[in-house]
């Protein structure tokens, strides 16, 4: 199907959330979430700790019951269906591998539950070992003697052995070191494509979400503030929170006075140039990514120019990051080494173009 | 080797030998008393004999009390392990309202002086009109042993990751299947230790049995009675046998635990 056809006729939702809420006493961990999860997609829910993403996942997996609202799977309400009855499977943050069982016995567990004969179980386990790129010799290995990456793969194989419609992931990669995590992220994406199943992943790392997901949902204090493709989330964050969650960005409040936009707390530019003409609003938050900011030689070198002092510079390897102080505000610039021609303490004129700024809800 | 290290090594050796002698000398004395020919113990042993051992083994009376003691200990073990297993889950696995109070209440009987507990149980039985026999002693033992076994198993349960049960259920397993395949196998070492504790504590218990067996008699009671009146070297002989049997049981238990651990840790690669 082409992208246009997809937009016209989106795949049917496999999971549907309508007004889902979860309260613990007076505290609302999840606040009225409406979300359609499409069959076969890789959806990642990101949010800082305490944003309710784990609670949301546990409701989807059946380990918590929603206080309100409705969760349906393929059109059937599953609010009160216990996890053992749901055709879904969760890969835990701790992985929850059975320590007294071998790799093979772990993978075969869901098949043993279903009463599959031992020979058929073993055959399937070996297939799954291949699928998750583990050697067949690991079949009889003690699961506690496996390395971190191997355990991830065993947990994944065990979940796939259950043959669920939807797989949930509760930050299973968080315990791995950076390099291995990068490898596993890509493998998980490959596995998603190969298995054709719906993957729902939660993490606090937007970077991780960007790499793997078809769509990302950003959560903030129990609410789903934006859902979109990684591209949309990156280029068109809907709120200040989402843009800040994306990594280090320049965010400042702007006010509309006498037909001119000004940055709060900063003298000039005389009229802040925004990407879209905004005449109705009185206040807005403006987001400019550090890589879209640059040093300019003279006023007018960019749509918006500000005068400040360089007070910190950090090497990021191929790029250099500057902190430039303008009045009381600090701006971040990220430049390639070729354009990095300022030192700490230098006066600097920084600028950005209107089209590179994003206006979000204040 | 460094001199101070050598000195501290020598100290460790001296100390451990001292402790072992302190603990085992009385037991050795008992063992020797049962193996000497004379009726009253003297040191050095003038004449050796296994006579008291064979007399003890052949004695119908001794066979009866051993049977009673074993019966009590076995039943206490089975009941205590079942009650304490689920008690320990409530103690350490689940978070529920009143758990802290339960944790304190369940351990309280351990600190209650046993002779007083025994007397209290006897008075209570009299009050409700129960004739004390070896069966009532089972109940008395349980009152004291269940808390101990609960504590022993709870220690194992504290190390148990509840998400394993969640994961198993999520993979389609029902409650019983989870208990059989996940919870029990992981908690086995604790259950075994608990069972050993239950058996040995019941086997060696005197103060509770004294008050609650009525006309029946257990091994510790019989030993005590013989020491008070009508001492024969059968007393130390039986004492030694009992110690050896307990040691064998502990060793077997240790072996089984080691075997379980080895099986869990086996690498088929």
Q: Is the ipTM of this complex over 0.85?
A: no
Chain B contact set for A88 (CB, 8 A): 170
A271 and A183 inside one domain: no
Mark which of A240, A264, A292 sits at the end of a domain.
A240
With respect to residue A6, please indicate whether it lies within any of the assigned structural domains.
no
pTM for this prediction: 0.78
Q: For the domain that residue A328 is a member of, what is the CATH number?
A: 2.40.50.140
Mark which of A197, A213, A240 sits at the end of a domain.
A240
Non-local (6+) Cβ contacts of A292 within 8 A are A352, A353, A356, A357
Interface check for B176 against chain A (CB to CB < 8 A): the answer is no
Interface check for B172 against chain A (CB to CB < 8 A): the answer is yes
With respect to residue A1, please indicate whether it lies within any of the assigned structural domains.
no
A218 and A75 inside one domain: yes
A235 and A278 inside one domain: no
Is residue B106 a contact partner of residue B150, using CB atoms and an 8 Å limit? yes
Interface check for B97 against chain A (CB to CB < 8 A): the answer is no
pLDDT tens, residue by residue, B137-171: 999 999 999 999 999 999 999 999 999 999 999 99
Is residue B52 a contact partner of residue B234, using CB atoms and an 8 Å limit? yes
Q: For the domain that residue A169 is a member of, what is the CATH number?
A: 3.40.50.300
Structure tokens at A305: 């120019």
Q: What is the pLDDT of residue B163?
A: 92
A28 and A145 inside one domain: yes
pLDDT tens, residue by residue, B204-238: 999 999 999 988 999 999 999 988 888 888 888 88
pLDDT at B269 over 50: no
Is residue A160 a contact partner of residue A195, using CB atoms and an 8 Å limit? yes
Q: What is the mean pLDDT of each run of 10 residues along chain A (362 residues)?
A: 56 88 91 92 92 92 92 91 92 93 95 94 94 92 91 94 94 87 90 92 89 93 93 87 84 81 71 70 84 86 87 87 88 85 84 86 70
Q: What is the pLDDT of residue A304?
A: 86
Interface check for B128 against chain A (CB to CB < 8 A): the answer is no
With respect to residue A5, please indicate whether it lies within any of the assigned structural domains.
no
Domain hosting residue A253, numbered range:
248-361
Q: Please choose, from the candidates B194, B159, B166, B195, the residue with its C-alpha nearest in 3D space to the C-alpha of residue B182.
A: B166
Q: What is the mean pLDDT of chain B?
A: 89
Per domain, the residue ranges of chain B are: 1-49, 52-268
Find which of A113, A168, A170 to mutate to test the B interface (most B CBs within 10 Å of its CB): A113
Find which of A54, A88, A100, A169 to mutate to test the B interface (most B CBs within 10 Å of its CB): A100
Chain B CA closest to residue A164: B171
Q: No. of H helices and E strands in chain B?
A: 12, 0
Domains in chain A, number: 2
Mark which of A240, A256, A280 sits at the end of a domain.
A240
Q: What is the pLDDT of residue A259?
A: 74
- Beta strand A42-46 with A215-220: parallel, antiparallel or unpaired? parallel
- Return phi, psi of residue B230, to 5°: 80, 45
Could you give the CA distance from residue A156 to residue A169 in angstroms, rounded to a whole number? 9
With respect to residue A3, please indicate whether it lies within any of the assigned structural domains.
no
A108 and A194 inside one domain: yes
Share above pLDDT 70 across residues of chain B, in percent, rounded to a whole number: 97
A211 and A276 inside one domain: no
A167 and A284 inside one domain: no
For residue B86, is it left (φ>0), alpha (ψ between -120 and 50) or beta? Answer: alpha
A229 and A266 inside one domain: no
Find which of B172, B186, B257, B268 to mutate to test the A interface (most A CBs within 10 Å of its CB): B172
Mean of pLDDT values over B20-24? 92
What's the alpha-carbon Rg for chain B, to the nearest Å? 23
Q: What is the pLDDT of residue B267?
A: 43
A231 and A110 inside one domain: yes
A223 and A319 inside one domain: no
A193 and A52 inside one domain: yes
Structure tokens at B86: 């689920």
DSSP-derived secondary structure letter, B189? H
Q: What is the pLDDT of residue A278?
A: 66
pLDDT at B7 over 60: yes
- Return phi, psi of residue B226, to 5°: -65, -35
Chain B CA closest to residue A89: B170
A297 and A228 inside one domain: no
Q: What is the pLDDT of residue A301?
A: 82
Is residue B45 a contact partner of residue B35, using CB atoms and an 8 Å limit? yes
Q: Give A228-236's long-range contacts (Cβ < 8 A, gap of 24+).
A: A233/A206, A234/A210, A235/A358, A236/A358
pLDDT at B74 over 50: yes
Q: Give the distance from residue B249's alpha carbon to the nearest chain A alpha carbon, in angstroms.
A: 25
Could you give the CA distance from residue B28 to residue B135 in angstroms, rounded to a whole number? 34
Q: Considering the domain B52-268 in this protein, what is its CATH number?
A: 1.10.3720.10
Interface check for A137 against chain B (CB to CB < 8 A): the answer is yes
Q: What is the pLDDT of residue B268?
A: 40
- Residue B14's pLDDT band (cuts 50, 70, 90): very high
């Amino acid at each position: 199907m082409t992208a246009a056809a997809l937009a016209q006729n989106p795949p049917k939702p496999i999971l549907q959330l309508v007004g889902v809420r979860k309260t613990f006493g007076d505290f609302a961990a999840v606040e009225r979430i409406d979300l359609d999860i499409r069959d076969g997609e890789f959806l990642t829910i990101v949010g800082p700790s305490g944003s309710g993403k784990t609670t949301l996942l546990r409701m989807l997996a059946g380990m918590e019951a929603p206080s309100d609202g409705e969760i349906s799977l393929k059109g059937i309400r599953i609010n009160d269906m216990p996890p053992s009855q749901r055709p879904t499977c969760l890969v835990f943050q701790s992985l929850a591998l059975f320590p007294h069982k071998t790799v093979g016995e772990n993978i075969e567990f869901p098949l043993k539950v279903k009463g599959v004969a031992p020979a058929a179980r073993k055959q399937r386990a070996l297939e799954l070992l291949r699928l998750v790129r583990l050697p067949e010799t690991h079949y009889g290995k003690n699961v506690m003697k496996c390395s971190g990456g191997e355990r991830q793969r065993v947990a994944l194989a065990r979940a796939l052995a259950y043959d669920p419609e939807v797989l949930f992931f509760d930050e299973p990669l968080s315990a791995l070191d950076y390099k291995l995590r990068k490898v596993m992220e890509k493998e998980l994406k490959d596995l998603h494509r190969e298995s054709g199943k719906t993957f729902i992943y939660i993490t606090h790392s937007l970077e991780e979400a960007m790499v793997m997901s078809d769509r990302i949902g950003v959560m903030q204090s129990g609410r789903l503030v934006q859902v979109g493709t990684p591209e949309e989330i990156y280029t068109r964050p809907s709120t200040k929170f989402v843009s800040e969650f994306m990594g280090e960005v320049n965010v400042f409040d702007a006010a509309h006075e006498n037909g001119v936009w000004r940055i709060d707390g900063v003298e000039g530019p005389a009229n802040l140039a925004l990407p879209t003409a905004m005449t109705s609003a009185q206040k807005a938050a403006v987001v400019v990514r550090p890589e879209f900011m640059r040093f300019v030689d003279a006023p007018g070198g960019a749509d918006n120019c500000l005068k400040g002092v360089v007070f910190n510079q950090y090497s990021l390897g191929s790029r250099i990051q500057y902190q430039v102080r303008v009045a009381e505000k600090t701006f971040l610039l990220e430049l390639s080494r070729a354009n990095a021609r300022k030192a700490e303490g230098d006066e600097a004129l920084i600028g950005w173009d209107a089209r590179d700024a994003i206006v979000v809800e204040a | 080797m460094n001199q101070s290290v050598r000195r501290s090594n020598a100290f460790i050796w001296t100390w451990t030998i001292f402790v072992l002698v302190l603990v085992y000398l009385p037991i050795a004395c008992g063992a020797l008393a049962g193996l000497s020919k004379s009726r009253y113990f003297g040191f050095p042993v003038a004449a050796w004999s296994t006579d008291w051992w064979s007399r003890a083994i052949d004695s119908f009376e001794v066979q009866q009390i051993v049977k009673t003691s074993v019966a009590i200990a076995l039943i206490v073990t089975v009941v205590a392990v079942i009650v304490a297993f689920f008690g320990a889950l409530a103690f350490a696995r689940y978070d529920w309202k009143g758990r802290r109070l339960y944790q304190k209440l369940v351990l309280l009987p351990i600190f209650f002086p046993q002779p007083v507990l025994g007397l209290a149980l006897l008075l209570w039985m009299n009050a409700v009109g129960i004739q004390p026999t070896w069966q009532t002693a089972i109940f008395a033992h349980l009152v004291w042993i269940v808390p101990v076994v609960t504590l022993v198993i709870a220690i194992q349960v504290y190390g148990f990751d509840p998400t394993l049960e969640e994961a198993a259920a999520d993979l389609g397993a029902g409650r019983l299947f989870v208990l059989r395949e996940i919870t029990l196998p992981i908690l086995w070492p604790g259950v075994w230790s608990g069972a050993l504790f239950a058996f040995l504590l019941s086997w060696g218990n005197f103060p509770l049995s004294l008050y609650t067996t009525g006309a029946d008699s257990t091994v510790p009671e019989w030993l005590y009675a013989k020491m008070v009146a009508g001492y024969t070297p059968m007393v130390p002989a039986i004492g030694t046998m009992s110690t050896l049997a307990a040691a064998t049981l502990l060793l077997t238990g240790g072996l089984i635990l080691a075997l379980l651990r080895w099986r869990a840790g086996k690498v088929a690669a």
